[in-house]
Amino acid sequence: MQQLEDIRELQLQLQRQRRLPPVAQPRPGPQPQARAAAAAPPLAPPLWTRRQTLTGGGAMAAALGLGMVGAWGRKGAWAEARAALGALPVPGLHAHAGAGGADTALAGANAGPRTISATLAARPSTIDLGGPVVQTWSYGGTVPGPLLRGRVGDTLQVAVRNHLPQATTVHWHGMAIPNRMDGVPNLTQQPIAPGAAMTYRFVLPHAGTYWYHPHVGMQADRGLYGPLIIDDPAEPGRYDAEFVVVLDDWLDGTGRTPDQALQQLTGGMDSMGGMDSMDMGQTQSGGMQMSMGGMAAMERMRSAALGGDAGDVDYPHYLANGRVPTAPQTLRARPGQRVRIRLLNAGADTAFRVALGGHRLTVTHSDGYPVRPVTVDSLLLSMGERYDVEVTLGDGAFPLVAEAEGKGGQALAVVRTGGGAAPRAGVRPAELRRRLLHLSDLDATPQAALPRQRVDRVHDLVLQGDMMSYRWTINGQSYDHLRPSDAMALPLRDGERVRLRFVNLSSMWHPMHVHGHTFQVRTPGSASGAGPRKDTVIVRPLETVVCDVAADNPGTWMAHCHNLYHSESGMMALLAYHN
Ligand SMILES: [Cu+2]
C-alpha cells in the first residue's frame, strides 16, 4: 500500500515536470533490459558515443556503489570498474539496468528511466583518516559514504537502516523531490528510531552534484555524509575524466563529539534536541570554562572574505575524501586531459578556499546548475555548497588544496598525471591568494535561469545571534526541532515567484540553504543581473542577499543556516504552501 502511494506520487511529480513519461512500477524484475528498451527515448545521433560512455560510466559507478570517492576516469571506466568489482567488498548499491555487469549497463546507455537501489547503514564505526583512527558514525563503514549516482529521470530507492543509538533521517541536499522524502524530523517524517529502517524513493529531478546527510542533531558533523551525482545524458560535457572531492572539518572521536563541541559553545545552558544524556553529563561541569576557550579560538578565526568571524569551532583535522593532508588521496589522470572536479563542502562550521597548484579553475556549475563559465584561481565553498570546475591538467603532481578559511589548517588531495615528488601536507599554492571567485562573477546559463515572472511576494529572513548567548534566530524566532509548527511558516502560494531577502544583522556569516528548491541569486554586480541558480548562498555580516524562488514544489520546507552549530541552535525557518 505504502509502495503504491509512493508510485502515485512519483507519477504525479513526473507529470508536473512534463519532462518524462509516467514510470512503470519499479520492480527488481528479471527483464530490466526489455523494460528499458521499450521506454527508450529518441537518441540524438551525434551524441551517441559520448552518451554511451557517460551513461555507461554512471551506471557502473552506481553498480559498484563506490565506497571510495575520488577519480573516475571515463575513458577507462570499464577496465577500472571490472578491476574494482573484486576490490570492493561492500557494494550496497546496484542499478537494476546495470546489475548484470558492463554489458547490461552498456545496453542501458540509451535506455529509459531505471531504478537505482542502495542501502545506507548508519552505524558506529572505526575510521582511519590516514593516520588518526577515530570512533565515529558512518554510512556502511566509510567516510565519505558511498557515491550514489544516477541519471535524470531514474528512481533512486535507498533503504536506510539505523544502527545508531539515536534516531536519524536522511536529507537529500539540493534536490527538488516530494516533501515527504525531504528527511526533516518531526516535520516531513517521523525520525527513524534506533534499530528501525526506512526506504526513501524519489525520481532524480535534475542533473548536478548533490549530497546526502542526516537532518537530526549534530549527526552530520560526524562521518554521516556522501555525494549524490546525477548525470544528464543530453549534456555529457566536454571532459575526459572526473574527480569527486568531498571536503570536511573533523573533530569526532578526537577527544570530543560534535554534541560536546556544541555544548561548549552554548556554555551548557541550553538543552538540545538529539543530544543523549551521556554527552550532557560529560560536559556539564566544564561547560562555561570551555565556552570561554571557544571565545578565544573565535578571536583567532577571522576572514576578510567572510566579513569577520570565520567560524565558531576550531577543528583538529580537515579532510579531503576522508583523508588528512599527511596521507592524501591521489587523483590520477593523464597530462593534457580535461578533468571535471566536483567539489562539495560537507563541513559543519568551515568554509574552504580551494585552489589547484599550477592551474586555473573554470567554474561551470554552482550547486548543480550550470553557470556561464568563468575562470579564476581559487574559490570559496561554504558548508553545503558545491562547485564543479574544469581544468586542463599539466604534467606532474599538483596539490589540490582546500584551506580552512580563516582557521589555519587545510585539506589536501594530490592530482597526479606524471612523476615528481608529492606535494607537502602544508603546501600553500600561490593560486590561493590570486583571483578569488565572487558571487557576482556568476550568471546562470539561459537554460538554467528561472523564466521571467513578476515577483508575487517578498519575504525577509532576518538573521540574528551572537557568541555570548549562542541563540541564533530567523525573524526573531528559534526553531523548535521537536515541535516545529506550520504556524511559524512564511506563507506563499503554489505557482508564485517569491523573493527571499536574507538580511544578516549578526556579526557572523551564514550559508543560507533552502530545501526542495533551487533559487536564483540576484547579483546586482553581474552583467545581466541574472545571478546563479543555487540552493546554498553565503550571507556576510550586515549584508543582504536577494534570491528568487519559483514555488513549484508544494510542501513545508526549511530555509536554514547550514552552519550546523547555528541551525541546531535555532537558525531555521519554514516556507509552506500546498496545491
Ligand atoms: Cu549561521
Query: According to the model, what pLDDT value does residue 2 have?
Result: 41
Distance from Cα 476 to the centre of ligand 1, integer Å: 14
Distance from Cα 510 to the centre of ligand 1, integer Å: 4
From CA 158, how far away is CA 26, in angstroms rounded? 13
More confident residue, 127 or 267: 127
Distance from Cα 361 to the centre of ligand 1, integer Å: 28
Distance from Cα 464 to the centre of ligand 1, integer Å: 9
Letter for the amino acid at 41?
Answer: P
**Mean pLDDT on 11-15:** 40
pLDDT band at 525 (very low <50, low <70, confident <90, very high): low
Distance from Cα 16 to the centre of ligand 1, integer Å: 34
Distance from Cα 571 to the centre of ligand 1, integer Å: 7
Distance from Cα 536 to the centre of ligand 1, integer Å: 12
Highest mean pLDDT among 30-39, 482-491, 509-518 belongs to 509-518
**Residue 237, C-alpha cell as written in the block:** 560535457
What is each CA distance from 447 to 200, 231, 364, 531, 532, in whole angstroms?
29, 16, 13, 13, 11
From CA 503, how far away is CA 136, in angstroms rounded? 36
For the four alpha carbons of 302, 303, 304 and 306, in that order, the dihedral sign comes to negative
**Beta bridge pairs of residue 391:** 339
From CA 552, how far away is CA 253, in angstroms rounded? 42
Distance from Cα 349 to the centre of ligand 1, integer Å: 9
pLDDT band at 181 (very low <50, low <70, confident <90, very high): very high
Distance from Cα 334 to the centre of ligand 1, integer Å: 41
Q: Which residue has the cell 588531495?
A: 413
Distance from Cα 90 to the centre of ligand 1, integer Å: 36
Distance from Cα 356 to the centre of ligand 1, integer Å: 28
Distance from Cα 472 to the centre of ligand 1, integer Å: 7
Distance from Cα 295 to the centre of ligand 1, integer Å: 16
pTM (2 d.p.): 0.81
From CA 124, how far away is CA 162, in angstroms rounded? 10
Distance from Cα 567 to the centre of ligand 1, integer Å: 7
Q: Indicate whether 177 pLDDT > 50.
A: yes
**Residue 472, C-alpha cell as written in the block:** 541564533
Distance from Cα 243 to the centre of ligand 1, integer Å: 29
Distance from Cα 49 to the centre of ligand 1, integer Å: 46
Query: According to the model, what pLDDT value does residue 120 have?
Result: 98
CA proximity to 113, closest of 11, 212, 251, 181: 11
Each residue of 399-424: pLDDT tens digit?
Answer: 999 999 999 999 999 999 999 999 99
Query: According to the model, what pLDDT value does residue 17 have?
Result: 38
Distance from Cα 566 to the centre of ligand 1, integer Å: 5
Distance from Cα 418 to the centre of ligand 1, integer Å: 42
From CA 457, how far away is CA 498, in angstroms rounded? 5
Query: According to the model, what pLDDT value does residue 234 have?
Result: 85
CB 350 within 8 A of CB 318: yes
From CA 192, how far away is CA 169, in angstroms rounded? 6
Q: Which of 32-36, 148-152, 306-310, 392-396 has the lowest average pLDDT?
A: 32-36
From CA 97, how far away is CA 63, in angstroms rounded? 9
From CA 557, how far away is CA 128, in angstroms rounded? 36
CA proximity to 544, closest of 307, 311, 352: 307
Distance from Cα 256 to the centre of ligand 1, integer Å: 22
Distance from Cα 503 to the centre of ligand 1, integer Å: 12
Distance from Cα 568 to the centre of ligand 1, integer Å: 10
Distance from Cα 175 to the centre of ligand 1, integer Å: 21
How many H-runs (helices) and E-runs (strands) does the chain carry?
9, 34
**Beta bridge pairs of residue 305:** none
* Gyration radius of the chain's alpha carbons: 22
Distance from Cα 419 to the centre of ligand 1, integer Å: 43
Each residue of 194-225: pLDDT tens digit?
Answer: 999 999 999 999 999 999 999 999 999 999 99
Distance from Cα 540 to the centre of ligand 1, integer Å: 10
Distance from Cα 466 to the centre of ligand 1, integer Å: 10
CA proximity to 315, closest of 412, 409, 427, 428: 409
Distance from Cα 268 to the centre of ligand 1, integer Å: 19
